[in-house]
Structure 1
Amino acid sequence: MVFDGLTETAVAGRPAWRHDASGVLFRRVPGGTYQMGLSDAEMAALSAHADASVMLDDAHRMRPIRTVTVEPFLMARHPLTVAQVRHWLPDYEDDYVDDDDAAAHLEDEWLDALLEALPFRLPSEAEWEYAARAGTTTLTWRGDEAPTEEQLLDRFGVEAEVAATENPFGLAAMGSLTERCADRYGIGYAEPAPADGPPVVRGGAADASPWQGCGEWLLALPASRGWQDMFTSIRPVI
């Protein structure tokens, strides 16, 4: 496959495409059809977790289940780091992290400026959830057990740590960071989302670290969704 401005390579034994100008790595997500939303099987699996009541109470925000087909696309291997954001915004300073290899936590003018400067787009909700599920139907791609904080990641300077969090599509840290999608938020999928609604965000379990036993891991579920009300990370797609 040939993409303008990208060079095909291999990373962690998988095909990848490197954006020549910025160094951002992309993985190819194959197209397919899946059941989007919190399924009955997932709700049953959640009932085994004592701290999952908040997710069950909010299940209507992730339902009704619907069949969605997505076309193939490229998705960044992980959210943009502080150093990668500075490729487009050289003066960028992150208010939340002081590590160039950490995922950037953008808000306000910085976020608007990055979205305007990026040559890529944001994923749709459907694309993000499909990529996070990576062909699986369990609570996370690892299964129905709650992930540990160690299985999530918000810094991407150590290749072994990044590779350990890759799902079957080769995408690292899915669900770890609060990632912005292109869609506007609506409660559930029964009605179209309001055009003036806040942007949808997915993930965020590592952003809630250190955990205090309040079900923070639930943010890592592919079906979990919310709205942008503070900082956000960006995982672009092509």
Structure 2
Amino acid sequence: MWAEEIVAGRPAWRHTPSGVVFRAVPGGTFRMGLSDAELDAVRAIERAGEAEDDLEPFFTGAVRYRPVREVKVEPFLIAHPLTVAQARHWLPEYEDSFTESPSATARLEDDLDDLLETWPFQLPSEAQWEYAARAGTTTLTFLGDGRPGEDQVLDDFADEERTAAAENAFGLAAMGSANEICADVWIPHYEDAPADARPRTGDGPRTVRGGAADLSPWQGCDEWFLLLPAIRDEQHDFTAVRPTVPVPPAGQGQAEH
């Protein structure tokens, strides 16, 4: 069911029935949430005149991404968002209303519950998602504190070279591009959040991360915020899904190069 491979020059695990490729994310501890340093970086972007809108609403709403806390994350596997073709492995009749490309990110609406009931994977917790997106960095994005642009958005994985070039240090691309659902229920702050990567469960809508590609081409409304690992929101409509699984026990995969 699992095969260890080298994909784009990096080790990977392939779920052979579906073809979904996972990267191994090492365990570790990180500071989760929007830090004071990141807030200062956004202010620097504003002072430089690189923001399209008045950013005061962003600073007022920053409570949703705070308080910053230290979180311990165990090793796990995580993939790129499911593509339309991969979603059809479990939902053969799936049609995407946002794209006709089978290699593009699937954005599920009414089919979401059916997929989650059928596939053998898990949704990432918020902590797992942000840890994977940061990939050891503490800046606004894994590329630094500069304002991200539309060139950092990746929404189709047909071009393997472009996909590989967009990967962070953990070998993951498109973190923040699509609106991605997490396992956590939406709670508009991190008060009393756990110090490990367990999702916060309960009734109500789930939390989503990212969404910069969902608004592309950008309309000059500071959509770049959606590429920041710390940004989070409440799920409303369509969503992408980025599967995760625990690291398979040794010996379950057969090495293929």
TM-score if structure 2 supplies the norm length? Answer: 0.88
SS in 2 for 1:28: strand
Counterpart-to-counterpart distance in 1, 2:56 and 2:171: 31
Hey, what's the Cα distance between the residues in 1 that align with 2:128 and 2:226? 17
Q: Does 1:34 align with 2:30?
A: yes
C-alpha separation in 2, matches of 1:39 and 1:219:
16
The Cα offsets for residues 164-186 of structure 1, whole Å up to 9 and x where unpaired, read as: 21011000111111110000011
- Does 2:215 align with 1:213? no
| Aligned AA (1:85) | A
- Structure-1 residue corresponding to 2:19: 23
* Gap regions ≥5 residues in structure 2: 194-199, 246-257
Please, which of 60, 65, 71 is the counterpart of residue 62 of structure 1?
65
Query: SS of 1:142's equivalent?
Result: coil
* Matched residue type, 1:59: A
Alignment of 1:122-141 (within 5 A): 122-141=123-142
Structure 2 residue aligned with 1:106: 108
1:132-171 paired onto structure 2 within 5 Å? 132-171=133-172
Cα deviation code 1:131-174 (max 9, x no counterpart): 00000000000000112212211111110111121011000111
1:29-48 CA distance string (max 9 Å, x none): 00000010000100010101
Q: For residue 196 of structure 1, give the secondary structure of its aligned residue in structure 2.
A: coil
Q: Distance in 2 between matches of 1:197 and 1:123?
A: 17
Match of 2:89 in 1: 87
Q: Give the superposition deviation at 1:54.
A: 3.6
Relative to 1, partners in 2 of residues 1:20 and 1:140: Cα closer, same or farther, differing over 3 Å?
same
* CA deviation after TM superposition for structure 1 residue 67, in Å: 0.7
- Post-superposition offset of 1:191: 4.4
Q: How does 1:175-194 map to 2 (within 5 A)?
A: 175-191=176-192
Q: CA offset at residue 196 of structure 1?
A: 2.1
**Residues 183, 201 of structure 2: 8 Å contact kept:** no
Cα deviation 1:181-211 (Å, max 9, x = unaligned): 0000111111466822310000111111111
Which structure: larger Rg? 2
**Distance in 1 of aligned mates of 2:154 and 2:43:** 26
Higher relative contact order (CA 8 A, sep 6+): 2
* Residue 53 of structure 1, CA deviation: 3.8
Partner of 1:96: 98
Instruction: Establish whether residue 222 from structure 1 lines up as the match of residue 222 from structure 2.
Output: no
Q: Which moved more, 1:142-151 or 1:113-122?
A: 142-151
Question: Are the counterparts in 2 of residues 182 and 200 from structure 1 also a CA contact under 8 Å?
Answer: yes
> Where does residue 75 of structure 2 map in the other structure?
72
CA distance in structure 2 between the aligned counterparts of 1:171 and 1:54, rounded to whole angstroms? 30
Please state how far the C-alpha of 1:114 moved relative to its aligned partner.
0.4
Q: Is the 8 A contact 1:42 1:138 kept in 2?
A: yes
* Number of residue pairs the alignment of both structures matches: 232
SS in 1 for 2:87: helix
* Residue 254 of structure 2 is aligned to residue 237 of structure 1: no
Contact conserved, 1:8 with 1:17, CA < 8 A, in 2? yes
Report the identity percentage.
60
Q: Which amino acid aligns with 1:100?
A: P
Distance in 1 (alpha carbons) for counterparts of 2:45 and 2:201: 33
Q: Following the alignment from structure 1 to structure 2, what is the Cα–Cα distance between the partners of residues 53 and 93?
A: 40
Asked whether the equivalents of residues 133 and 222 of structure 1 are also in contact (C-alpha less than 8 Å), the reply is yes
What secondary structure does 2:215 align onto? coil
Cα distance between partner residues in 2 of 1:197 and 1:55: 24
State how far apart, in whole Å, the 2-side matches of 1:54 and 1:115 are: 34
